[in-house]
Amino acid sequence: MYVDLGAREILAAEKSGRKIGVEIKSFTGPSEMRELEQALGQYMIYADVLEHTEPERMLYLAVPDEIFSDLFEEPIGRLIIEKHTIRLIVFDPVAEVIVQWIQ
pTM of the model: 0.81
Q: Among 34, 28, 31, 30, which residue's Cα sits nearest to residue 63?
A: 28
Render pLDDT for 31-51 as a digit per residue (tens, 0 to 9): 888 998 999 999 999 899 889
Q: What share of the chain is helix, strand, coil (3-state, %, to 5)?
A: 45, 30, 25
Half-sphere exposure of 33 (CA within 13 A, CB side): 2
CATH of range 2-95; options 1.10.275.10, 3.40.1350.10, 3.90.950.10, 1.10.287.3510: 3.40.1350.10
Supply the pLDDT for residue 23.
Answer: 87
Render pLDDT for 59-99 as a digit per residue (tens, 0 to 9): 899 999 999 999 999 998 899 888 988 999 999 989 988 89
Domain residue spans of the chain: 2-95
Higher pLDDT: 1 or 11? It is: 11
Give the model's confidence band at 10: pLDDT under 50 very low, under 70 low, under 90 confident, else very high. Answer: very low
Q: How far apart are CA 28 and CA 83, in angstroms?
A: 25
